[in-house]
Chains A and B, each alone.
Chain A
Amino acid sequence: QVQLQESGPGLVKPSETLSLTCVVSGYSITSGYYWGWIRQPPGKGLEWIASIHYSGNTYYNPSLKSRVTISVNTPKSQVSLKLTSVTAADTAVYYCASEGGLTRVRGVMDVWGKGTTVTVSS
């Protein structure tokens, strides 16, 4: 059974860099299609951030592309996200998701982690 577990700092100061990690278990990270990050500000909707294939192929949301880097560490079965120059607008729950890990359909976010809350504040 695919399980995803996000982790992060919880609190980040404005202008600093946010670093998040998603550990994939119960499934080979090289078997899935893509792995993605999605965020949800408090009381608001969902925003797709970026996706990566284990080969390194990446896609980014243009609204965040200049500040975001997604990467994969295959031996550690981890997917990471870095977001630079954060502001209060980046305060959100950040989710990691498998794209097509169960359905074998690219783009279908079929398994999600529980999410990690990030607050940007001084």
Chain B
Amino acid sequence: DIQMTQSPSSLSASVGDRVTITCRASQGINIYLAWFQQKPGKAPKSLIYAASSLQSGVPSKFSGSGSGTDFTLTITSLQPEDFATYYCQQYNSYPYTFGQGTKLEIK
């Protein structure tokens, strides 16, 4: 299985800040990486696929980059509704695997 490791596991930031979350794959996955946002009690929401393609309706404050084994999710101008848990997921090969999550909290 491909292991996905996110860092940091938690992150405190203020409204208006810019934050970056990193996701590393245990082996190369080309650009077959997705990012999700999950709020408490809700289903995950797809933000980005193919490492950098924004899902329809997702604001451009979210951006992704990377290929191979190292990827990043950047969120600019944080707003209260952005504080949530973020997951990366590889779909290069089965079994699909997720990172452990990064909890973004308000400072």
| B residues neighboring A (CB under 8 Å) | 1, 32, 34, 36, 42-46, 49-50, 53, 55-56, 87, 89, 91-92, 94-101
Contact residues of A with B, CB < 8 Å?
36, 45-48, 51, 59-63, 95, 102-103, 105-115
17 A–B contacts, CB within 8 A, in A order: A45-B87, A45-B98, A46-B44, A47-B98, A48-B96, A48-B98, A51-B94, A59-B95, A62-B1, A63-B95, A95-B44, A103-B49, A108-B34, A108-B50, A109-B44, A110-B55, A112-B43
Partner of A109 from B32, B46, B53, B97 at Cβ < 8 Å = B46
Given A46-B89, A95-B43, answer yes or no on A108-B49 (Cβ-Cβ < 8 Å).
Answer: yes
Residue of A nearest to B101 (CB): A45
State how many angstroms separate the Cβ of A59 from the closest Cβ of chain B. 5
Contact, CB under 8 Å: A110 / B46:
yes
Structural contact, B101 and A103, CB atoms closer than 8 A: no
**Closest Cβ–Cβ distance, residue A38 to chain B (whole Å):** 8
Chain A residues lying within 8 Å of B99, measured Cβ to Cβ, are: 45
Quick one: which of A45, A59, A105, A109 contacts B50, CB cutoff 8 A? A105
Contact with B95, one of A46, A48, A110, A112 (Cβ below 8 angstroms)? A48
Question: What residues of chain B lie closer than 8 Å to A47, measured between beta carbons?
Answer: 98
User: Judging by beta carbons under 8 Å apart, are A113 and B43 in contact?
Assistant: yes
The answer to whether B43 touches A114 (Cβ under 8 A) is yes
CB pair B34–A109 under 8 Å, yes or no, is: yes
